[in-house]
Amino acid sequence: MTAIYNQYILNFKRPSGTSRGVLTTKETWFLEIRDGNRTGIGECGILRSLSVDDRPDYEKKLKWVCENINLGAEELWKALKEYPSIQFGVEMAFRSLEAENKFELFSSAFTMGKAAIPINGLIWMGEKAFMKEQISEKIKAGFNCIKMKIGAINFETEISLLKYIRSEFPSKEIELRVDANGAFTPEEAPEKLMRLSELDLHSIEQPIKQGQWAAMTDLCKKTPLPIALDEELIGVFDFEEKEKLLKTINPQYLIFKPSLIGGFRGTQEWIDLAEKYSINWWVTSALESNVGLSAIAQWTYTKNTKIPQGLGTGSLYTNNFESPLEVKDGKIQYNPDISWKFKI
């Protein structure tokens, strides 16, 4: 058994704004395992400035994985605790190697094209006119759950945009989620949450920066608007620490990005704890290519969750790989009649 890795740069169709800056490209790495005539593909979906494994030795660690690929998926996952995106790529690649079709990792009604997964429509930060345009497009495309990034432009402008959506579409028609990406300070967060709650929103992701457990605990206890932890989960490796975080903060929701929290196995640990403490959750992609997105969608379908997931990022790039993934009527589906075109 041998393995190689390659870097691939995904180019955004248009600059995409977050509270941490504007994205024009997205770096990703592909791990390919070869065993006789079989090959397995895994995507190591690092997100610079957010991934805990955004480290100078990242490529060196990928080289180490290739040199030690015969350790197998289990031992490599354990050895890569501090490199969750590589854990994800390793899990994917081994699963792909064993699959009849290397891109169909979890066979189900989803991969047979008989079932779809409801997803949210993502609205990126930008000028008011651009955000309004995106909102209209998502609603026309059949989405009944919209997620809007907030925290980068003027808060009053964001409030007016949300009011605009609500004036046109009540909550029984459109579910609205917002994602602050840690943009608020602990001091200003309570008032901003109060104002946002008046707009009948579903939830807010990560209102303050991660790592402020006391402040986040207080917010989750008193908030008028359900809070979903996202970045807060990044870099929490040990099961005991994960449980301590949930028992301490007691959030209303959790959001899982497998590339950022240890792949499927790391995510499953969070799911087990969420169910233990009766915390609802959903899964979100971390801007992977269609290869990683497809693997996450296939796995997510097997979890039988009914609420909209955050898996609608495949159309963001000019040079994504052609795949069976399609988004129709606010759902992601897998069309087995469409072939993969994967070449790097």
CATH of the domain at 91: 3.30.390.10
* Domain shared by 34 and 138, yes or no: no
pLDDT band at 67 (very low <50, low <70, confident <90, very high): very high
Strand, helix or coil for residue 49: coil
* Domain shared by 315 and 259, yes or no: yes
Instruction: Report whether pLDDT(15) > 80.
Output: no
**Strand 253-256 to strand 2-18: parallel, antiparallel, or no bridges (unpaired)?**
unpaired
* Domain shared by 63 and 192, yes or no: no
Tell me which residue range forms the domain holding 229.
117-334
* Domain shared by 157 and 87, yes or no: no
Q: Is residue 271 a part of any domain in this protein?
A: yes
**Strand 38-44 to strand 121-123: parallel, antiparallel, or no bridges (unpaired)?**
unpaired
Q: Is residue 255 a part of any domain in this protein?
A: yes
Q: Is residue 343 a part of any domain in this protein?
A: no
Q: Catalytic one among 138, 147, 257, 331?
A: 257
- Known active-site residue 257: yes
End of a domain among 48, 64, 98?
98
Domains: count for the chain: 2
Q: Which region among 15-24, 79-88, 125-134, 145-154 has the lowest average model confidence (pLDDT)? A: 15-24
Per-residue three-class SS string for 129-166: HHHHHHHHHHHHCCCCEEEEECCCCCHHHHHHHHHHHH
* Domain shared by 291 and 203, yes or no: yes
End of a domain among 98, 132, 148?
98
Q: Is residue 6 a part of any domain in this protein?
A: yes
Q: Is residue 106 a part of any domain in this protein?
A: no
Per-residue pLDDT, 223: 97
Q: List the CATH number of the domain containing 229.
A: 3.20.20.120
**HSE on the CB side for 252, CA within 13 Å?**
17
* Domain shared by 246 and 315, yes or no: yes
* Domain shared by 186 and 216, yes or no: yes
Give the whole-angstrom CA distance, residue 240 versus residue 237. 9
pLDDT band at 100 (very low <50, low <70, confident <90, very high): very high
End of a domain among 69, 98, 127?
98
Amino acid at site 204: I
Instruction: Report whether pLDDT(242) > 60.
Output: yes
Instruction: Report whether pLDDT(127) > 80.
Output: no
User: In terms of pLDDT, which residue wins out, 164 or 242?
Assistant: 242
Q: How confident is the model over 318-331, as a mean pLDDT?
A: 95
Q: Catalytic one among 26, 102, 138, 149?
A: 149
Amino acid at site 296: I
* Domain shared by 157 and 270, yes or no: yes
Instruction: Report whether pLDDT(17) > 70.
Output: no
Q: Is residue 344 a part of any domain in this protein?
A: no
Q: What is the CA radius of gyration of the chain?
A: 20
* Domain shared by 93 and 16, yes or no: yes
Element spanning 36, H or E: none
Q: Whose CA is closest to 138, among 165, 171, 158?
A: 165
* Domain shared by 202 and 54, yes or no: no
pLDDT band at 129 (very low <50, low <70, confident <90, very high): confident
Q: Is residue 72 a part of any domain in this protein?
A: yes
Q: How confident is the model over 231-237, as a mean pLDDT?
A: 96
Q: Is residue 299 a part of any domain in this protein?
A: yes
Instruction: Report whether pLDDT(16) > 80.
Output: no
> Are 193 and 215 contacting, i.e. CB atoms less than 8 angstroms apart?
no
* Domain shared by 49 and 153, yes or no: no
* Domain shared by 69 and 173, yes or no: no
